[in-house]
């Protein structure tokens, strides 16, 4: 079953067209990797799906369906709760570890202190961070290391009980060990969530994704099973990119 | 024949010049504080701080003026802070940095440069006479609020602008609305900067003379309500010194004023550092 269906999606910043008639489906419980060189529209695609493009004063044409329902028919805060977004640079909000996790859930519903405590604990455990911060919940989140901050951002998204998790180059600033931890987290969570992973690291896409989409200058060049796309791509451009000939 | 200064020499000259400039600034500050305290500290008895003013200030204490100063300043801050912070939020978050924002910012800058006696005259004509509030804590507080408003708006505006855009993105991407984002993320992050503006405002309000002498009057009675006329410490000092009533009492008053201003700054900075240490 398709979790997300994108039909003829175009996105414009003023006069610049960042996405050109993209159509693709995201299946439930898969990790879909999106690769492509800089300014190929990878981030714009994510920002279109959760309607974050609106704060950039961009506009879109085409259709995006979440569980066969148009995203514009879903209240925006509900949409953004169901589709979480993790940014390239981990940005923790000022305040404690606990407050960072609790921020999202508190926006959406009233919770008792005990419920919130449990939610924070579960989210941190699911984000593979609990063991490292269990006794530091009231410490400032900005004192965590870069890798821990990124896992905190993942836990913060998990705390909202989303259905789809979009990640925009989540490991670009991290060391190999932190990267491995995050990849392990994603593979564990795959059974409950659907992932869209934008990455500049083609090896990462090959390692953990089920299918891979290749974007180039705002167009979808190719989308196929990861195994197939990396061994025998149909398009020359894809072949050139994954072999590192450009981009 | 040309005379050249080597790079090493010019470094030394620059260093010494800058050092002297800094030293002059600091020395002037300490000299003022030292001079006032030296002349006034002898007056600071419990009686001086807690007694009513008698015989126009020749005898007794300055309790009415201490209370008047506190009430007027608190009143001005209570009015100016929400107005100023609200305007700053509107300017940064709700106008797209266009024409309106530039006009309002320019207006605020002009307003900040208007001499305080002009505010005093405005307050006298508008609050005291037209609105018929009389010489009162209310009129004085409103006038001071108008006077410190630009300072609070401009510092809050800068503080809110300095909050990283990514914080807002995070909040929106977690499903937060604009108001949630402003109240829960932007304002707490901008709070130290906003507080700086409020402290500057308090400093201006506490020490203000010209704007309050026209609007709050110079009554020496203990204030009983916001409609009481009162005399602030700065005005009391001015009248004692100007009319040659009592120089020792004048210095005593000045010493109290300086101690209050130092205390406010000290407390505010402590609060700010505690806040920053907790949240960053």
- Give the pLDDT band of residue B1 (cuts 50, 70, 90): low
A80 touches chain B (CB under 8 A): yes
Same domain, B98 and B16: no
pLDDT at residue A50 above 70? yes
Q: State residue B207's pLDDT score.
A: 87
- Give the pLDDT band of residue B278 (cuts 50, 70, 90): low
pLDDT at residue B93 above 80? yes
Nearest CA in chain A to B173: A80
pLDDT at residue A14 above 60? yes
- Which residues have a Cβ under 8 Å from the Cβ of B245 and sit 6 or more positions away? B56, B57, B58, B239
Average pLDDT over residues A211-221: 92
Chain B CB contacts of A108 below 8 Å: 175
B2 falls within a domain: no
Same domain, B123 and B63: yes
* Distance, CA of B168 to chain centre: 31
As a whole number of angstroms, the distance between CA B266 and CA A56 comes to 42
Most confidently modeled range among A51-60, A173-182, B83-92: B83-92
pLDDT, one tens digit per residue, over A68-121 is 999 999 999 899 999 999 998 888 888 889 999 999 888 888 888 898 999 999
CB-CB under 8 Å, A94 with B174: no
Q: State residue A171's pLDDT score.
A: 87
Average pLDDT over residues B35-49: 89
Strands B59-60, B53-54: pairing kind: antiparallel
pLDDT at residue A247 above 60? no
B275 falls within a domain: yes
Question: Which residues are paired to A31 by β-bridges?
Answer: A195
Nearest CA in chain B to A97: B279
Q: Which of B160, B234, B214 is nearest to B191 (CA)?
A: B160
Q: State residue B112's pLDDT score.
A: 86
CB-CB under 8 Å, A107 with B172: no
CB-CB under 8 Å, A76 with B174: no
A160 touches chain B (CB under 8 A): yes
Same domain, B240 and B125: yes
Question: Which residues are paired to A65 by β-bridges?
Answer: A5, A70
Nearest CA in chain A to B190: A94
Domains of chain A: 2-242 (3.40.50.300)
As a whole number of angstroms, the distance between CA B276 and CA B267 comes to 14
B271 falls within a domain: yes
Task: Write the residue in B172, B175, B280 that is nearest to A55 by C-beta.
Answer: B172
The SS3 assignment for B90 reads helix
Q: Which helix (H) or strand (E) holds B188?
A: helix B187-206
- Which residues have a Cβ under 8 Å from the Cβ of A9 and sit 6 or more positions away? A19, A21, A22, A23, A45, A48, A60, A61, A62, A63, A64
Best B171, B175, B182, B187 member to test A by mutation, with max A CBs in 10 Å, is B175
pLDDT at residue B277 above 80? no
Return the ∠ at Cα B151 (arms to B181 and B29), rounded to 5°. Answer: 125
Q: State residue B4's pLDDT score.
A: 78
Strands A219-225, B59-60: pairing kind: unpaired
B1 falls within a domain: no
CB-CB under 8 Å, B173 with A55: no
As a whole number of angstroms, the distance between CA B151 and CA B199 comes to 10
Average pLDDT over residues B137-149: 95
CB-CB under 8 Å, A80 with B174: yes
Q: What is the pTM of this model?
A: 0.81
Residue that the structure tokens 């072999």 belong to:
A243
As a whole number of angstroms, the distance between CA A26 and CA A60 comes to 19
Average pLDDT over residues B26-36: 94
pLDDT, one tens digit per residue, over A109-147 is 888 889 899 999 999 998 888 988 888 898 888 888 888
A142 touches chain B (CB under 8 A): yes
Same domain, B136 and B166: yes
Tokens found for residue A125? 């455990």
B192 touches chain A (CB under 8 A): no
Chain A CB contacts of B173 below 8 Å: 50, 52, 80, 84-85, 87
The boundaries of the domain holding residue B15 are: 7-43
CB-CB under 8 Å, A52 with B175: no
B233 falls within a domain: yes
Same domain, B32 and B164: no
Strands A59-66, A2-13: pairing kind: antiparallel
As a whole number of angstroms, the distance between CA A223 and CA A27 comes to 13
A95 touches chain B (CB under 8 A): yes
Rg of chain A (C-alpha set):
18
Question: Which residues are paired to A4 by β-bridges?
Answer: A26, A66
Average pLDDT over residues B110-117: 90
Q: Complex ipTM, two decimals?
A: 0.86
A157 touches chain B (CB under 8 A): yes
Q: At how many degrees (to 10) do helices B187-206 and B63-89 cross?
A: 140
B24 falls within a domain: yes
How many domains does chain B contain in total?
2
A51-62 burial, b at 16+ Cβ within 10 Å, e below that, comes to: bbbeeeebebee
Same domain, B99 and B202: yes
Q: State residue B43's pLDDT score.
A: 87
Same domain, B106 and B126: yes
Same domain, B190 and B273: yes
Strand order in the sheet with A69-70: A16-27, A2-13, A59-66, A69-70
pLDDT, one tens digit per residue, over B264-273 is 888 888 877 8
- Give the pLDDT band of residue B45 (cuts 50, 70, 90): confident
Same domain, B217 and B83: yes
> Which CATH number belongs to the domain containing residue B271 in this structure?
1.10.3720.10
B122 falls within a domain: yes
pLDDT, one tens digit per residue, over B227-262 is 999 999 999 999 999 988 889 999 999 999 999 988
pLDDT at residue B280 above 70? no
In three-state form (DSSP H/G/I as H, E/B as E, the rest C), the secondary structure along chain A is CEEEEEEEEEEEECCEEEEEEEEEEEECCCEEEEECCCCCCHHHHHHHHCCHHHHHCCEEEEEEEECCEEHHHCCHHHHHHHEEEECCCCCCCCCEHHHHHHHHHHHHCCCCHHHHHHHHHHHHHHCCCHHHHCCCCCCEHHHCCHHHHHHHHHHHHHCCCCCEEEEECCCCCCCHHHHHHHHHHHHHHCCCCEEEEECCCHHHHHHHCCEEEEEECCEEEEEEEHHHHHHCCCCHHHHHHHCCCCC
Q: What is the DSSP-derived secondary structure letter of residue B245?
A: S
- Which residues have a Cβ under 8 Å from the Cβ of A86 and sit 6 or more positions away? A150, A153, A154, A157, A165, A166, A167, A168, A170
pLDDT, one tens digit per residue, over B177-229 is 899 899 989 998 898 889 888 988 998 899 899 999 999 988 888 888 889 99
Question: How near does any CA of chain B get to the CA of A142, in Å?
Answer: 6
Average pLDDT over residues B134-154: 94
Q: State residue B6's pLDDT score.
A: 84
Q: State residue A63's pLDDT score.
A: 92
Same domain, B259 and B159: yes
- pLDDT averaged over every residue in chain B: 90
- The answer to whether the Cα torsion of B104, B110, B113, B115 is positive or negative is negative
B90 falls within a domain: yes
A137-170 burial, b at 16+ Cβ within 10 Å, e below that, comes to: beebbbebeebbbbbbbbbbbbbbbbbbbbbbbb
pLDDT, one tens digit per residue, over A168-192 is 998 887 888 889 988 998 998 999 9
A93 touches chain B (CB under 8 A): yes
- Give the pLDDT band of residue B279 (cuts 50, 70, 90): low
Burial of A105 (0-12, 13-18, 19+ CB in 10 A): buried
Q: State residue B153's pLDDT score.
A: 92
Q: Which of B213, B204, B232, B198 is nearest to B62 (CA)?
A: B232
Same domain, B148 and B35: no
Same domain, B149 and B31: no
pLDDT at residue A213 above 90? yes
């Amino acid at each position: 079953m398709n979790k997300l269906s994108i039909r003829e999606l175009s996105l414009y910043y003023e006069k610049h067209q960042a996405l050109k008639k993209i159509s693709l489906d995201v299946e439930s419980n898969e990790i879909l990797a999106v690769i492509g060189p800089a300014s190929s529209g990878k981030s714009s695609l994510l920002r279109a799906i959760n309607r974050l493009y609106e704060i950039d004063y961009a506009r879109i044409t085409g259709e995006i369906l979440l569980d066969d329902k148009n995203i514009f028919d879903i209240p925006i805060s509900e949409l953004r709760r169901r589709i979480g977004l993790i940014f390239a640079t981990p940005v923790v909000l000022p305040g404690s570890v606990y407050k960072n996790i609790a921020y999202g859930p508190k926006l959406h519903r009233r919770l008792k202190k005990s419920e919130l405590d449990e939610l924070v604990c579960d989210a941190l455990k699911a984000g593979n961070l609990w063991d490292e911060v269990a006794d530091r919940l009231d410490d400032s989140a900005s004192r965590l290391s870069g890798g821990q901050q990124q896992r905190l951002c993942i836990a913060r998204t998990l705390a909202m009980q989303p259905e789809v998790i979009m990640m925009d180059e989540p490991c670009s600033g991290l060391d190999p060990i932190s990267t491995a931890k995050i990849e392990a987290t994603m593979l564990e969570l795959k059974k409950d969530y659907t992932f869209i992973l934008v990455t500049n690291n083609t090896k990462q896409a090959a390692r953990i994704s089920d299918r891979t989409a290749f974007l180039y200058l705002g167009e979808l060049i190719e989308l196929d099973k990861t195994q197939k796309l990396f061994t025998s791509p149909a398009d020359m451009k894809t072949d050139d990119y994954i072999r590192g000939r450009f981009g | 024949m040309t005379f050249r200064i080597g790079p090493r020499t010019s470094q030394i000259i620059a260093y010494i010049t800058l050092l002297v400039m800094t030293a002059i600034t600091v020395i002037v500050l300490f000299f003022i504080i030292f001079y006032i305290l030296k002349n006034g500290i002898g007056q600071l008895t419990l009686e001086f701080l807690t007694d009513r003013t008698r015989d126009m200030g020749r005898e007794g204490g300055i309790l009415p003026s201490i209370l008047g100063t506190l009430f007027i300043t608190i009143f001005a801050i209570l009015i100016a802070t929400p107005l100023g912070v609200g305007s700053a939020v509107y300017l940064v978050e709700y106008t797209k940095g266009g024409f309106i924002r530039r006009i309002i910012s320019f207006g605020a800058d002009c307003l900040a440069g208007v001499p305080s006696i002009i505010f005093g005259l405005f307050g006298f004509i508008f609050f005291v006479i037209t609105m018929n509030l009389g010489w009162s804590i209310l009129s004085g507080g409103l006038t001071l609020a108008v006077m410190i408003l630009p300072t609070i708006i401009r510092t809050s505006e800068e503080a809110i602008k300095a909050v990283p855009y990514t914080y807002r993105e995070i909040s929106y991407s977690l499903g937060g609305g604009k108001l949630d984002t402003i109240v829960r993320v932007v304002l707490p992050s901008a709070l130290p900067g906003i507080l700086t503006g409020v402290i500057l405002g308090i400093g201006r309000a506490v020490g203000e003379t010209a704007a309050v002498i026209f609007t709050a009057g110079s009554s020496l009675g203990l204030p009983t309500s916001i409609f009481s006329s009162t005399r602030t410490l700065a005005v009391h000092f001015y009248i004692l010194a100007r009319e040659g009533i009592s120089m020792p009492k004048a210095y005593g008053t000045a010493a109290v004023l300086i101690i209050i201003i130092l205390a406010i700054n000290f407390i505010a900075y402590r609060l700010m550092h505690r806040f920053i240490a907790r949240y960053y």
